[in-house]
Each structure stands twice: as structure tokens, then as C-alpha cells.
């Protein structure tokens, strides 16, 4: 498999452009050391709800995910200045920081949200 060349970060976020291909998920950049994104204890039924949401979204294309605003999923980009992390995903390599942050809810705010970046048709869970 050919490695992809990541673009250089120029201080501005890249608008997400994706192909009309199935949406895949990756944990390649998942940060288990961040207690806010990966608490040591999850709420009851969290894992089942997360897996159900990932399964459901796996039937979408990446293009659908970034263009179809679904109230039950609440998928949208981050407005970093309105978060507790105004500088974004600073633990990522600078080139990866140049991608827009995305999020979606697991289930009606009961189990929180999944955060990440999208490159091509892969949602990298952070």
C-alpha cells in the first residue's frame, strides 16, 4: 500500500474534501492518555452505543457525512474558539492539525461525542 504524502500546515485549516466512497473509521491517532477524550471509566452501555453508532455511520459515504447535517447525529466541524481547546488537536503532528476537526454524537448527548479529523474517506478518531 502506497503511503500518502501529508500536506504542509500553513496556519489555516483545510476545508474537508472527500470522495464519494464509504466512510471508514481509524483509531490510528486516538489519544488514550487524554482523560477528557478517553476517560478511564465509561458510562453504562457506552461501548454498545459507540459501536452501534460506528456501525450505522459505516453505511454512509464520507461525502454524505460532511454534507448531510443530521440532527440525530449532530455531525459538524469544530469551532475551536468556542471550545476548551481553542488551539485544536495540538498533540497531533502539525500537518494533521491543518485538517478541520469534526465531531458527532453517540446518542442524544447521553454518551457524549466522538471527535476526529477526516482525510479522504477515513474518519480518524482522536
Q: Please state the domain count of the chain.
A: 1
Give the domain range for residue 118: 24-35+43-125
In sequence order, what are the beta bridge partners of 105?
113
Q: Determine, yes or no, domain membership for 6.
A: no
- In the structure, what pLDDT confidence band is assigned to residue 13 with cuts at 50, 70 and 90? low
Mean predicted confidence (pLDDT) in 107-122: 88
Q: Is residue 13 part of a domain?
A: no
Position 11 scores a pLDDT of 53
Residue 125 pLDDT grade (very low, low, confident, very high; cuts 50, 70, 90): very high
Assign 42 a pLDDT band (cuts: 50, 70, 90): confident
Residue 7 within any structural domain of the chain: no
Better pLDDT: 35 or 24: 24
Q: Is the pLDDT of residue 26 over 90?
A: yes
- 3-state SS, 17-86, equals CCCCCECEEECCCCCCCCCCCCCCCCCCCHHHHHHHHHHHHCCCEHHHHHHCCCCCCCCEECCHHHCCCC
Query: Considering the entire predicted model, what is its pTM?
Result: 0.81
Q: 115: exposed, middle or buried (C-beta count within 10 Å: 0-12, 13-18, 19+)?
A: buried
Domain contains 3: no
Q: Which tops the pLDDT comparison, 117 or 109?
A: 117
- Residue 100 covered by a domain: yes
Helix (H) or strand (E) segment spanning residue 104: strand 101-105
Residue 7 has pLDDT above 50, yes or no: no
Is the Cβ–Cβ distance between 76 and 113 less than 8 Å?
A: no
| pLDDT score, position 115 | 93
Residue 14 lies in a domain: no
Give the per-residue pLDDT at 1: 47
Q: Establish if 81 belongs to a structural domain.
A: yes
* Nearest residue to 9 via CA among 115, 72, 99: 99
CA distance 106 to 43: 12
- The residue-averaged pLDDT of 36-44 equals 83
For residue 9, is it within any domain? no
Amino acid at each position: 500500500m502506497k503511503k500518502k504524502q501529508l500536506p504542509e500546515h500553513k496556519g489555516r485549516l483545510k476545508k474537508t474534501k472527500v470522495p464519494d466512497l464509504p466512510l471508514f473509521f481509524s483509531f490510528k491517532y486516538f489519544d488514550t492518555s487524554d482523560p477528557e477524550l478517553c476517560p478511564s471509566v465509561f458510562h453504562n452501555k457506552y461501548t454498545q452505543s459507540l459501536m452501534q453508532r460506528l456501525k450505522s455511520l459505516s453505511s454512509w459515504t464520507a461525502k454524505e457525512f460532511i454534507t448531510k447535517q443530521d440532527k440525530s447525529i449532530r455531525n459538524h466541524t469544530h469551532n475551536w474558539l468556542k471550545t476548551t481547546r481553542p488551539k485544536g488537536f495540538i498533540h497531533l503532528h502539525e500537518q494533521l492539525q491543518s485538517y478541520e476537526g469534526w465531531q458527532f454524537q453517540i446518542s442524544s448527548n447521553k454518551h457524549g461525542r466522538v471527535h476526529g479529523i477526516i482525510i479522504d474517506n477515513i474518519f480518524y478518531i482522536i
